[in-house]
């Protein structure tokens, strides 16, 4: 689904999958490939928008919970794209990947990065700040493009909800602080890891206020 001239959104296909976002330009970036078993459906959806696997240059993740990155390596093999991690994601790999997999009684996995993200990520004409936003996980990051008001926020905040904090690496106080900081940004497109996206600055603001007034006391 095309949201702007360069921004595309692909909803999660099944359980343990995640929303995927693509910036298509002379450098094409795909965020959160999701579940390996759902990758064929994701590829078919992208092709409908004229995006082929070989068009992908960079694979990036908001965090390394399996539902967001199980398809990283298969997509890399299919596309030739480079997997870029944030240093936080490598530093906290054992907690975010291995301990969380054990928590859910699921097998862990390995992930080989091809390089690391800096403080900014450039995708064509769009420049994204990389914001450290722990709380749901130790390695959670958000990608924010101020000029376009785009916030790719993973599992930090959803439409009417927030990410879990009861799993290894989760911390309620950190999550509230991360959400508070994100709420200070101008956001036109709130693009979470699950459920619906939110379009429009007023709707995004109302969502932040809802979370802070209704959910913060329970986090």
Residue 82's contacts (CB-CB under 8 Å, 6 or more residues apart) are 57, 58, 59, 76, 114, 115
Let me know if residue 125 belongs to a domain.
yes
Residue 131 forms part of a structural domain: yes
Residue 117's domain comprises 7-218
Per-residue pLDDT 10s for the chain (219 aa) are 999 999 999 999 988 899 999 999 999 999 999 999 999 999 999 999 999 999 999 999 999 999 999 999 999 999 999 999 999 999 999 999 999 999 999 888 889 999 999 899 999 889 999 999 999 999 999 999 999 999 999 999 999 999 999 999 999 999 999 999 999 999 999 999 999 999 999 999 999 999 999 999 999
In the chain the first and final C-alpha atoms are separated, in Å, by 33
pLDDT of residue 124: 87
CB-count burial class (<10 Å; 0-12, 13-18, 19+) for 171: middle
Whether 119 is in a domain gets the answer: yes
Task: Extract the tokens encoding 113.
Answer: 């990065």
Question: Is 20 domain-assigned?
Answer: yes
Question: DSSP letter string over 107-143?
Answer: -------SEE--SEEEETTEEEEEEE--SSSTT-EEE
The pLDDT, as a whole number, for residue 67 is 96
- Flag whether 2 is in a domain: no
Model confidence pTM above 0.95: yes
Is 98 inside a domain boundary? yes
In a domain, residue 176? The reply is yes
Q: What is the total count of domains within the chain?
A: 1
Distance CA 125, CA 165 (A): 35
Whether 1 maps to a domain, the answer reads: no
What CATH code is carried by the domain that includes residue 168? 3.60.15.10
Q: What is the pLDDT of residue 107?
A: 87
């Amino acid at each position: 689904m095309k949201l702007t001239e360069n921004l595309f959104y692909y909803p999660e296909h099944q359980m343990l999958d995640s929303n995927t976002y693509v910036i298509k330009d002379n450098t094409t970036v795909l965020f959160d490939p999701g579940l390996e078993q759902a990758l064929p459906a994701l590829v078919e959806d992208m092709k409908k928008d004229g995006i082929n696997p070989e068009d992908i240059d960079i694979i990036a993740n908001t965090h390394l919970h399996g539902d967001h990155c199980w398809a990283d390596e298969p997509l890399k093999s299919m596309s030739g794209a480079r997997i870029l991690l944030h240093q936080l994601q490598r530093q906290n790999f054992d907690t975010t990947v291995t301990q969380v997999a054990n928590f859910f009684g699921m097998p862990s996995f390995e992930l080989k990065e091809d390089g690391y993200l800096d403080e900014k990520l450039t995708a064509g004409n769009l420049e994204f700040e990389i914001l450290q936003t722990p709380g749901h996980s130790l390695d959670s990051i958000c990608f924010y493009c101020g000029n376009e008001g785009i916030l790719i926020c993973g599992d930090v905040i959803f439409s009417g909800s927030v990410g879990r904090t009861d799993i290894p690496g989760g911390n309620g106080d950190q999550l509230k602080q991360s959400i508070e900081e994100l709420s200070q940004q101008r956001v036109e497109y709130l693009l979470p890891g699950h459920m619906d996206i939110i379009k429009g600055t007023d709707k995004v603001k109302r969502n932040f206020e809802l979370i802070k007034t209704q959910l913060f006391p329970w986090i």
